[in-house]
């Protein structure tokens, strides 16, 4: 294993352990008995209401500061290596201006307490927590009422794990701050966090990061990559957002084992891909999205590909939509179930240049006489209604309605109306592949 692989494995192991501890703390807070972090030998207990900035400024590097239950007034800036810890009943409260807790040092750990509020300036990106450095760990914080949640800039080797960020639901989703925002961050892990009513987990100009095991609800883009190569997003639970994952202008992204459900608004999609390439999309479940997967000019570079394999696309209005993306994509071993429309190609064209093999389509009308699990005749999609929509885009609102369904039925009866074939899978499965052992979204 490479040194990068070892580092990633250690981060992921730490994240798994941290999630278990975070769940324990969350349960105790909910019961009204906040989990008490023990103050280690040599640590300094900070009494409630103390001037926290003065305390931080006085201690030497390496000190552990233990916050007592109670309220401390921010903003606070940490400019040397230390650990700041407390229970969720220890609250650093914004005075209504700026960023509430700012870290501008290496090897700082923030653990267990609550950060409440921030300023309201978008131009200054006022946040609950801002970090800039190497080897910073942000564990199990409760963050609420802030414009932005956690912002990390120009940093390396971060671990942002087990935090609960509650955004400002009263604001329109587009002008809420991001729950977690990475800018020029490398080699870091964002794991086991829960975000509610925020905007995005935004990964911007930040290659080589792992976004693992997060739950995002009622936000805009649950995870949003821009100009960020070689990132991984896996084991996420994304519900009732506008978009589950959006990959823009990025290469080498892997999406694995995510549940992405309920992105059902007018522009909703499970996965959106724009001008990106060398993506691997495998073993995810897209359920009840407006569009399960939308591919726009992807792969973008010559020689790049997009591999979509072993996913479930279920109960979506459209399973897959191609926009200028009808080549160098491969769909292998996926299941298309109970979608209103399996595949759409926007504009004139078809998806015959896409590799289709071993997919299950619940509207397949073939047979399997030799019992090998694959249909003996290809699965083909010919849709007169889709050809009509391509010529008259305003009819797209009628997709899935009885009117366009009757046109497709008529096209099957009267060969003169038969349109070109949109796609062909020469070896379709006749039964769904084994379901992953995951709960129903």
The pLDDT tens digits of the residues spanning 140-159 come to 999 999 999 999 999 999 99
Angle at 373 between CA 370 and CA 375, to 5 degrees: 75
What confidence tens digit (pLDDT) does each residue in 206-252 have?
999 999 999 999 999 999 999 999 999 999 999 999 999 999 999 99
239 Cα distance to chain centroid: 10
What DSSP designation does 88 have? Answer: T
Cβ distance 225 to 231 under 8 Å?
A: yes
> Maximum distance among all alpha carbons in the chain?
86
pLDDT of residue 152: 98
- Is residue 325 over pLDDT 90? no
pTM for this entry:
0.83
pLDDT of residue 402: 53
Phi, psi for 396 (deg, rounded to 5): -60, -25
pLDDT of residue 21: 43
- Is residue 164 over pLDDT 60? yes
Segments making up each domain of the chain, as ranges = 3-42+81-425
Alpha-carbon distance 205 to 182, whole Å? 8
Average of per-residue pLDDT values in the chain: 86
**Residue position matching structure tokens 């298309």:** 336
363: tokens are 């509207």
In angstroms, the Cα distances linking 294 to 272, 273, 331, 346, 428 are 5, 6, 13, 10, 22
Cβ distance 75 to 95 under 8 Å?
A: yes
pLDDT of residue 435: 61
pLDDT of residue 415: 55
- Is residue 84 over pLDDT 60? yes
* Full 3-state SS string of 207-243: CCCEEECCEEECCCEEEEEECCCCCEEECCEEECCCE
| Domain at 3-42+81-425: CATH code | 2.160.20
Task: Identify the band that residue 439 occupies on the pLDDT scale cut at 50, 70 and 90.
Answer: very low
What confidence tens digit (pLDDT) does each residue in 362-387 have?
999 999 999 899 999 999 987 645 55
What confidence tens digit (pLDDT) does each residue in 11-55 have?
445 444 444 444 444 344 333 334 456 899 889 999 999 999 999
Residues written for the chain: 441
pLDDT of residue 52: 97
382 Cα distance to chain centroid: 34
In angstroms, the Cα distances linking 441 to 44, 126, 237, 261, 287 are 45, 34, 9, 6, 7
Q: What is the mean pLDDT of residues 119-132?
A: 96
Least confident of 109-118, 250-259, 299-308, 430-439: 430-439
Q: Which residues pair with 343 in a beta bridge?
A: 320
Who has greater pLDDT, 437 or 403? 403
312: tokens are 């479930």
pLDDT of residue 406: 52
pLDDT of residue 11: 42
Cβ distance 146 to 128 under 8 Å?
A: yes
- Is residue 413 over pLDDT 70? no
pLDDT of residue 349: 78
52: tokens are 């926290």
């Amino acid at each position: 294993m490479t040194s990068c692989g070892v580092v990633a494995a250690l981060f992921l192991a730490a994240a798994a352990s941290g999630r278990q501890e975070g769940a324990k703390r969350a349960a105790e807070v909910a019961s009204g008995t906040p989990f008490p972090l023990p103050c280690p030998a040599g640590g300094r207990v900070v009494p409630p209401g103390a001037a926290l900035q003065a305390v931080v400024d006085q201690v030497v590097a390496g000190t552990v500061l233990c916050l007592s239950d109670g309220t401390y007034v921010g903003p606070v800036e940490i400019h040397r290596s230390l650990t700041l810890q407390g229970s969720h009943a220890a609250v650093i409260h914004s005075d209504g201006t700026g960023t509430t807790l700012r870290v501008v040092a290496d090897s700082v750990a923030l653990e267990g307490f609550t950060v409440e509020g921030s300023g309201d300036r978008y131009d200054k990106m006022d946040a609950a927590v801002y970090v800039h450095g190497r080897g910073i760990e942000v564990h199990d914080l409760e963050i609420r009422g802030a414009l932005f949640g956690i912002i990390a800039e120009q940093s390396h080797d971060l671990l942002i794990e087990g935090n609960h960020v509650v955004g400002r639901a009263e604001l329109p989703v587009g002008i809420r701050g991001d729950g977690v925002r990475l800018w020029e961050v490398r080699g870091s892990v964002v794991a086991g966090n829960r975000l509610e009513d925020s905007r995005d987990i935004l990964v911007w100009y930040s290659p080589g990061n792992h976004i693992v095991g997060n739950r995002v609800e009622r936000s805009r883009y649950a995870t949003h990559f821009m100009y960020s190569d070689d990132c991984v997003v896996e084991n996420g639970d994304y519900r009732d957002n506008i978009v589950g994952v959006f990959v823009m202008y990025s290469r080498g992204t892997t999406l694995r084992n995510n549940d992405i459900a309920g992105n059902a608004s007018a522009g909703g999609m499970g996965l959106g891909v724009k001008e990106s390439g060398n993506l691997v999309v495998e073993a995810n479940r897209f359920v009840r999205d407006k569009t399960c997967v939308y591919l726009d000019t992807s792969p973008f570079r010559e020689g790049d590909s997009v591999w979509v394999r072993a996913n479930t696309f279920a109960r979506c209005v459209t399973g897959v939509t191609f926009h200028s993306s009808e080549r160098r994509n491969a769909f292998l071993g996926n299941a298309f179930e109970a979608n209103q429309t399996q595949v759409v190609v926007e504009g004139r064209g078809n998806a015959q240049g896409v590799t289709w093999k071993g997919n299950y389509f619940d509207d397949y009308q073939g047979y399997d006489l030799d019992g090998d699990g694959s249909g003996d005749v290809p699965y083909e999609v010919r849709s007169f209604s889709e050809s009509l929509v391509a010529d008259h885009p305003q009819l797209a609102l009628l997709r899935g309605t009885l009117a366009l369904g009757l046109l497709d039925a008529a096209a099957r009866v009267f060969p003169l109306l038969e349109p070109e074939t949109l796609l062909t899978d020469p070896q379709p499965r006749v039964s769904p592949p084994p379901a992953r052992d995951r709960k129903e979204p």
